[in-house]
Chain A
């Protein structure tokens, strides 16, 4: 396992369509985070999973967004009825149990373009 994998790398979709992204964290990491990064900005926190439990959601995560992490392994982020404002880079990060190390590892992200 060489790191956090995200799929797809790029997604172009028409406004109103649904899209789903996948994140495969480092296998032994029980913590998983989703972030969104718009052009010229730093990543913004969206949601957090500890194992399969979704423990925190940002106000940025409207009801069109849903995230899951079945069985505490990979995670999916779905956006329904996409809007142009959803265009961004969606980043996934994972972290292990050892808080003292704060060993977060980020994936390369999925770039979403809504046309």
Chain B
């Protein structure tokens, strides 16, 4: 079965510094991976997706993620954090014949002035 593990439950950065949110996956075949963001009292929003094309995936709001098969990782990065990036971030893998999404436990990103 496919699964993802988010290695940090909380990450705190200063505004303008880089962001790194770590995710490892487990899959018996080439996975389809996503990062979603959830702002307080808002719905889940897709940041980016990897579907076996380019290993470096660019998403919205300056985020990107790199698929590394040798490390079974799909870490999310952003060169410079903005206050509006403070939110919960979920690493997600597609599983099963009906393409259901399997979510990690989430990483709460705090951005300080």
Contact = CB atoms under 8 A, between A and B. Distances in A.
Interface of A: 3-4, 31, 33, 35, 40-45, 48, 50, 55-56, 91, 93, 95, 99-100, 102, 104, 106-109
Contacts of B106: 40-42
Contact of B34 (A35, A41, A91, A102): A102
Interface in B68-104: 90, 92, 94, 96, 98-104
Interface stretch (B14-22, B38-46, B55-63): B38-46
Interface of B: 32, 34, 41-46, 49, 51, 90, 92, 94, 96, 98-106
Contacts of A106: 43-45
B98 A44 contact: no
A43 B44 contact: yes
B46 A104 contact: yes
Contacts, number: 56
B100 A33 contact: yes
Nearest to A111: B41
A31 B43 CA distance: 18
Contact of A107 (B43, B49, B99, B103): B43
Given A56-B100, A102-B34, A41 B44 contact: no
Given A42-B104, A50-B98, A56-B98, A100 B43 contact: no
A100 B51 contact: yes
Contacts of B101: 33, 35, 43, 45, 93, 104
A41 B104 CA distance: 8
